[in-house]
Chain A
Amino acid sequence: MPKDSGIGASPKRREDVRFLTGDGRYTDDINVAGQAYVHFLRSDVAHARIAGIDTSQAEGMPGVVRIFTGADFEAVGGIPCGWQITDRHGEVMQEPKHPVLAHGKVRHVGDPICAVVADTLAQARDAAEAIVLDLEELPAVIDMKEAVKDGATKVHDDLTGNLCYDWGFVEENRDAVDEAIKSAAHVTTLELVNNRLIANPMEPRVAVGQWEKGTGDYTLYTTSQNPHVIRLLMGAFVLGIPEHKLRVVAPDVGGGFGTKIFHYAEEAFCTFAAKECRRPVKWTSSRSEAFMSDAHGRDHVTKIELALDAENNFTAVRTETYANMGAYLSTFAPSVPTWLHGTLMAGNYRTPLIYVNVKAVFTNTVPVDAYRGAGRPEATFQLERVIDKAARELGVDPIELRRQNFITEFPYATPVAVEYDTGDYHATMDKLIEIADVAGFEARAEESRARGKLRGFGVNSYIEACGIAPSNLVGQLGARAGLYESATVRVNATGGLVVMTGSHSHGQGHETSFPQVVADMIGIPDDMIEIVHGDTANTPMGMGTYGSRSLAVGGSAIVRATEKIIAKAKKIAAHIMEASDQDIELKDGKFTVAGTDKELAWGDVTLAAYVPHNYPLAEMEPGLEETAFYDPNNFTYPSGAYACEVEVDPETGKVTIERFAAADDFGNVVNPMIVEGQVHGGIAQGVGQALLENCAYDENGQLISASYMDYAMPRADDLPMFTVDHSCQTPCTHNPLGVKGCGEAGAIASPPTVVNAVCDALQRAGKNVTHIDMPLSPARVWAAMQGAEPTMGAAQPAAGSAGSAEGRSLHGQG
């Protein structure tokens, strides 16, 4: 029987009622009395010197309050970067200034140049059209490998070049890895692109800045996954506002997927301009603006080599990656291709020697930062693709090759500096083979053949590092922040609880799942507990929601605070019942004294805490409110195995996903319904990356996928029903809930699964296609089929048409 409350139950989400009735309160639904509206005039070219800005005509237009340019922001700081990488030579990364409004130069399509504040949005837009810009266009830096050559045009004139850093990990292993590859029985090499993506939460970003003349207090309403982080970054580094004078509110937020972690110029602008204009200032991004101002994701160009001995044991992995940073360093950008990617290159396997080299490069494109999975999808894609290719080259079963190399003993210290606490990779693979009905594949393939379609099966394993992270560790790695999480549990006199968390829910259902945890600990109904989040004025300093960390880190903080509450409540109960607090038990919302029939209800004790007439006042303060900050001592390591069956239309190259199965090990699960929903969404984004989505720039740096007409979002009829399972559970050993995190698994594990399946379909049809770069559009798949030789050793097919950069630095790829 499924439970109906507490941990392990799937109560219906309480937040759904307001979302289903139109009563949600998203940032754009907030209107502050007297607010003006800002429209940003953005660069329509990738790279240019700003020779002149003539606002004279625009300033006289109806409703215009004020027009701002970069010169107005000379006295304030730039948008800061939160992570500093030290390169393989011991040098710190190059870190250019990122002005709120472009100053001197524009560096990507969408770089804001002017901000027009007016009484209405329409008036602001009208006035922006009357601004005359004199932009002297410069050559655009788009191709990463060209960008780092001597003499290349520089994105930032004051830097030594376009290389942000050249990172090696683990540098001391470099020679040993080279040697292992030289002496290997077999080496499989794969060059690939991890396509640039745009996160595209359905709610575009919004910022409303407010300044109170009477108190000097600022308020920013913003679409953020982490309001405290925004308060700290914007207050301390950009605008010089002390945190006690700045409140940041992130109310209902319509999806984040990483891109709402970062501090953006528009937030700083609205806050700054509210004081300058003496009026609240509101900005609502259009979708077109979102495409050219939200941080993008992925965009790696990689060469990976996998070395095996004569018995097919993995002996070494060596990778070289070019990672696009875009024009400026977004908040966590430098950490993504390094610590969130290099440390995952062991995957699920006992590879003894690993070396990862990453060159991060500035280009005239929108900044690139974390997007669902962030570094881990890039690691998994390389590894799981190269293993599949190796299996083909060696003529062994791809599942068996994986199984042979699985890590089976835990804890396991990888050669890339992390220690997996628990996992059972055979168990998830076994479960996958069952739920994916691998045994029935041949019959289904025959049925596809009868319809003239090519069917393929793809599989992969994955591991991720979630629940970021021990603060002292990330500090050593260059993080400029701690990565704990916080919770304050306030018990009211009448027994209900308010849990104030530093985590932020923007689709994850915390308002439902977090109370399940507290309810279980005390033994009271879920609905006695309310979750408060998203407002720096009434929550403790917290780091927010990303990296599948909310339950593992934020939930653990709630457990710790609730433990303190229970300990104090037991002392109160002991006093009232004249017993030792060691003998007090709390179960089903009742305090009892062991060995007696004395009992006291939860509400009697909470009332006594606030009406302390019969209370140990000499020993304890009244009240029942506790705060905990939880700093984990390791990452968590969710893992699993995914399978996909595709059909390829040999006439058109169109790929359809026929079946998709996921067997995940998330450790303990608090709300299975929510966990499954998270996996579904991750799979859709992973399939989107594999088949549909591509953020494309042309060679001039023009963003050519800047609307939903050009950027292919997965639609309902692009996807099948999914079969997901989370019954393999090896609980995390180091957090009190034993949970691992489930938010990113689907996005991490799905892309290689799909590409493996398409390559399998083509191989089974006698086409020696060993790789196609994502997205596997009909044109690319068709071209790969046409170019493929029916013999071993065929050349890799071209990813795209000659002469087009197709979204990134494809020159030199392959």
Chain B
Amino acid sequence: MTKVSMRVNGKAVTAEVEGRTLLVEALRGPLGLTGTHVGCDTSQCGACVVHVDGKAVKACTMFAAEAEGAEVTTIEGMANADGSLGVIQQAFQDHHGLQCGFCTPGMVMSAAALLKDNPKPSEAEIRHYLEGNICRCTGYHNIVKAIQAASGQDVAIAAE
């Protein structure tokens, strides 16, 4: 077991991990942040996307030990300081961009990374960017709309 220290959602944390422990396992286990989900074992589904030093990373693709000293943001760190939903989260609710909610944390984290690099993405750019995030419930229609809305583009509210 080795000790790994990082900052998660702005807080300094430390965990005891094995060399083989994945970042997602450390987040969900010793660090108690179960919002980041595991949907596959081949790094395809994107349910575990978090931000490491500002970049979107599938937390199943790196060892916890590799995050030593890193700044990690998870879905638990995406709400506003007053606890209200952040812009992207709010857009997902407004546009019914989630159903079962399991892929949602990864979707929100990917969407945040996309909008950081591309503040006004087209529908095609959003769809292309989300290639690494699988959703089985929504058919992506409302996820695309939510991300367009979060970027300030004009989108009709769901079912009006």
Contact = CB atoms under 8 A, between A and B. Distances in A.
Interface of A: 2, 10, 12-13, 15-26, 28-29, 122, 200-204, 252-255, 257, 284, 286-288, 506-509, 671-677, 680-685, 707-709, 713-717, 719, 721-722, 746
Contacts of B34: 22, 25-26, 28-29
A644 B147 CA distance: 25
Closest 8 CB pairs of A and B: A22-B35, A19-B101, A254-B102, A684-B139, A507-B100, A708-B44, A673-B159, A507-B99
Contact of A255 (B74, B92, B100, B105): B100
Interface residues of B, number: 58
Nearest to A290: B40
Contact of B93 (A13, A682, A685): A13
Contact of A200 (B98, B136, B143): B136
Q: Which of B94, B98, B127, B139 has the most CB of A within 10 A?
A: B139
Contacts of B40: 287, 707-708
Q: Which of A2, A13, A202, A715 has the most CB of B within 10 A?
A: A202
Q: Which of B85, B105, B137 has the most CB of A within 10 A?
A: B137
A533 to B, nearest CB: 14
Contact of A12 (B94, B105, B138, B143): B94
B41 A286 contact: yes
Contacts of B33: 22
Interface string B105-127: 10010000000000000011011
A68 to B, nearest CB: 23
Contacts of A508: 99
A657 to B, nearest CB: 11
B74 A680 contact: no
Nearest to B92: A20
Contacts of B126: 716
12 contacts: A10-B158, A10-B159, A20-B85, A22-B36, A25-B34, A122-B18, A202-B134, A204-B39, A254-B100, A507-B100, A715-B131, A717-B130
A19 B93 CA distance: 10
B108 A202 contact: no
A10 B160 contact: yes
Nearest to A288: B41
B131 A717 contact: yes
B3 interface: no
Contacts of A16: 92-93, 98, 101
A715 B134 contact: yes
A673 B158 contact: yes
A238 B76 CA distance: 40
B133 to A, nearest CB: 7
B96 A677 contact: yes
Given A255-B137, A287-B42, A721-B141, A23 B35 contact: yes
A286 B142 CA distance: 28
B136 A257 contact: yes
B75 interface: yes
A506 B128 CA distance: 27
Contacts of B79: 21
